[in-house]
Structure 1
Amino acid sequence: MTEINWGALAQSWLDRLAQCSEPGRGVTRLPFTPEHRAALDILTELMQNAGLTVSMDAAGTLIGRLDGSADGPVLLLGSHQDSVREGGAYDGIMGVVLPVLAIQKLHASGRALPFSVEVLTFADEEGVRFPTALMGPRALAGTFDMAALDMQDRDGISLRRAMKDFGLAPENLPGLKRNPANILGWVEVHLEQGPVLEHAEQPIGIVTAICGIERHSVTLTGMAAHAGTVPMELRRDALAGASEFVLAVEALAQNTDGLLANVGELQVRPSAVNAVPGEVTLTLELRAPSDDLREEAAQELTSRANDIAVRRNLALDISRTYAQAATPCAHELSSRLAQAARKQGHKALHMPSGATHDTSAMADLCPVAMQFTRCKDSISHHPNESVDSAAMSAAIDVLCALLQTDLTN
């Protein structure tokens, strides 16, 4: 009998799912669209092939369930089906395919599950079509804001209308709230979206936490002036001050373990070749696996911005515009996942996730853990996004080992 290459099999399913896309480069699959429906048809086929009973809840979450050999709490696995515009074929959807294939692999070897499992395919994680996201996991956790149903896409279609047109009953969302006592935990598999595993030549990693995020708007105001008539020592150059601040941001992050910092936008006024910049507005984003670390960095950078402004005779306005708390992964469940990885011969590198995932919302319901897979050249949210078959095979084997672990004690 020919041995199945499970990574190659995963790739074949992902190739089919990548065809469920709007025309154009890469994969564009938005929630509650014909492309979404086509993907659900393929995923239903995949789940049924693995022996799962398939249903859909009021949030549009496709659920594949397999009962274990004993009654008791269920282990939840999965990810999301949607993509960004012109994205890749792995982000989200791979985290649905791999656990289903892990269950199928165990079934093919005649091994029963010690507990029940459900593989969840959430409709909308990216928040591309509607200005909201994570509806599926938030509904399960009881944290979804029903006011979001009135949000509209760029064509003026509300989330409520899109869901009803998809055959769903959004008014039933509050009834989806799960009882934490009935759940063992949640495990998500996702491509790393970064370079660490590829650099370490390791196929999988264990996520320690999903980084908290905060963003600030920073405005430095000096005095616009003629660049040919004002001496250097008399200038109040807002861009020079902003440049010093940007380098301070970079230096702090480089010298602080776990901290990620970025200045991604700069608006310079008057933005003329022969004018001294009189005002600069920039964005500061901080990410860290610890809220204390992130908040301490924000305080330090606020202090440095004040010092720069005073020394350069600039006015400073700085305000926090967004904050999202860090999501630590559950120690016990993550330890079991790491043990499963080591049993398969992997180092199980521990690492934070700088990006947000469905896991961050599921943490309001139950213990959570995440497994990263190696990706090529750190590319994600792009048509060239790629995960090799060997990494997917490794991830499937780790899930198989986890699914054979007694997670009830």
Structure 2
Amino acid sequence: MKINQERLWTRLHELSQFGKQEKGGVTRFSFTEEERKAKDLVISYMKEAGMMVQEDAAGNVIGRKKGKNEASPAVLIGSHIDSVPKGGIFDGPLGVIAGIEVVQTMNESDVETEHPVEVIAFTDEEGSRFGFGMIGSRALAGTLQSEHLQQSDQDGMTIAQAMAKAGLNPECIAEAARNPETVKAYVELHIEQGKVLEYAGHPAGIVTGIAGPLWTRWTIKGEAGHAGATPMNQRKDALMAALNVIQYIEEETKKYPNAVATVGQIDVKPGGVNVIPGETTFTLDLRDIDESVRDEVEAKIISYAQAFCEGQGMEIEVDTLQRVAPAPCSDEIRAVMEEACRAMGIDLYSLPSGAGHDGMQFNEFCPIGMIFVRSKNGISHNPNEWSSKEDCGIGTSILYNTVLHLAK
């Protein structure tokens, strides 16, 4: 069955208008007016596709297609519509719009399934606003705790406060949790965000597993002082100490073939042109498909940083923002995806995901599967992020055949 590629493409670009930046890219954080407008558009698409729609206690938008046996567990299709600062239009939204297209194609073709099919636009996958991601998928999986809602953004507003401002009740967050018995499987379509498929010449690929992100915030406390009156050998410069640790992070991580480390934020206090930095805070995003390897790298970095700062007479604190275990994809779902590719005449190609995705929250909840679509030049989290209309259509067609098999 052919999906409507033009409709898919049009909706992707319509959705990109909310949070669109003058100089390119999309900035659409969770619990904002831009996100609300985007959610409302997604809801309209779901209703047009013939789904019943609800918004749960976490702000997840859920569209449901009834199954012949409504009591049977549902097949979930999910992704997110929030973005990083000045991000692209495909990361997240493609998976949501593709899921809606799958259901709409079924309904237009009078295709009935034994199991219900649900499409979910999850709240805050990226974590860009609060430094804590996958809020909606954690809530649905039942792993989001009330203390997580005390994470705050750069303006000091907590997740709980932002939820309340958006009309949600943070005290009811537990109501978003699903009973695992009501879910048969979870599948997600996403752009690759890397160059593997492009280099291999494949429009789409089947994901073998998702690397687990470990986010930490590091604070080094030295001593502020006069930039002109303090000799170099008498300084406790917190920024220079941080740069030394960051350099070690770069060198140590390169020793491991699948490990990646990113320092994405740095804050220097007091921040004067003529003042020696007395405190420096930076974030570290550390990932590997193997949890033991990731944790080994983390331990080496912490050990080095503590020894270095102690030798310089400085203090160091490391706070864990999130620690997510890597998630292997289901062999059974991968086999279904492989069969879908064969039926479409698409060469099989498998690859791991270095990026984290909502699906990893369901690893111990239900079987999960992921499909990647080729990314031009491997660019993502960037206004130049791009996947072709044809590749998006191919990925959505694989998703359609996969969901059809799982739901029937």
Into which bin does the TM-score normalised by the smaller protein fall?
0.7 to 0.9
Counterpart for residue 176 of structure 1:
176
Aligned mates of 2:396, 2:85 — CA distance in 1: 28
CA 1:4/1:184 → structure 2, altered by over 3 Å: closer, same or farther?
closer
Counterpart of 2:14 (choices 16, 19, 43) is: 16
Letter of the 1:161 counterpart: A
> Cα deviations across residues 10-41 of structure 1 (Å, max 9, x unaligned)?
11101111112265332222333332232223
Counterpart for residue 162 of structure 1:
165
Counterpart for residue 200 of structure 2:
200
Counterpart for residue 38 of structure 1:
37
Letter of the 2:354 counterpart: S
Map residues 86-97 of structure 1 onto 2, 5 A cutoff.
86-97=86-97
The offset of 1:105, in angstroms, is 2.5
Aligned mates of 1:159, 1:280 — CA distance in 2: 27
The offset of 1:74, in angstroms, is 0.6
Counterpart for residue 211 of structure 1:
212
The unaligned stretches of length 5 or more in structure 1 are 222-237, 269-278
Secondary structure in structure 1 of the residue aligned to 2:372: strand
Letter of the 1:394 counterpart: I
The offset of 1:6, in angstroms, is 3.2
Letter of the 2:115 counterpart: F
Map residues 59-78 of structure 1 onto 2, 5 A cutoff.
59-71=58-70, 72-78=72-78
Aligned mates of 2:299, 2:323 — CA distance in 1: 16
Secondary structure in structure 2 of the residue aligned to 1:41: helix
Greater shift in the superposed pair: 51-60 or 130-139: 130-139
The offset of 1:249, in angstroms, is 5.2
Q: TM-score, normalised by structure 1?
A: 0.77
The offset of 1:198, in angstroms, is 1.7
Secondary structure in structure 1 of the residue aligned to 2:166: helix
Counterpart for residue 224 of structure 1:
none
> Cα deviations across residues 245-275 of structure 1 (Å, max 9, x unaligned)?
877755654453322234667899xxxxxxx
Q: Tell me if structure 2 keeps the 8 A contact 1:64–1:118.
A: yes
Aligned mates of 2:245, 2:150 — CA distance in 1: 40
> Cα deviations across residues 84-106 of structure 1 (Å, max 9, x unaligned)?
23222112111100111122223
> Cα deviations across residues 148-192 of structure 1 (Å, max 9, x unaligned)?
55666538582243132xxx4444322222111121122122222
Map residues 60-139 of structure 1 onto 2, 5 A cutoff.
60-71=59-70, 72-130=72-130, 132-139=132-139
Q: Tell me if structure 2 keeps the 8 A contact 1:306–1:316.
A: no
The offset of 1:130, in angstroms, is 4.4
Secondary structure in structure 1 of the residue aligned to 2:87: coil
Q: Tell me if structure 2 keeps the 8 A contact 1:218–1:284.
A: no
Letter of the 1:28 counterpart: T
Q: How many residues matched? A: 396
Aligned mates of 2:240, 2:169 — CA distance in 1: 55
Letter of the 1:163 counterpart: A
Letter of the 1:159 counterpart: A
Counterpart for residue 391 of structure 1:
391
Taking only aligned residues, the RMSD between alpha carbons, in angstroms, comes to 4.4
Bigger Rg, structure 1 or 2: 1
Counterpart for residue 146 of structure 1:
146
Secondary structure in structure 2 of the residue aligned to 1:404: helix
The offset of 1:65, in angstroms, is 0.5
Q: TM-score, normalised by structure 2?
A: 0.77
Work out whether 1:380 is the aligned partner of 2:383.
no
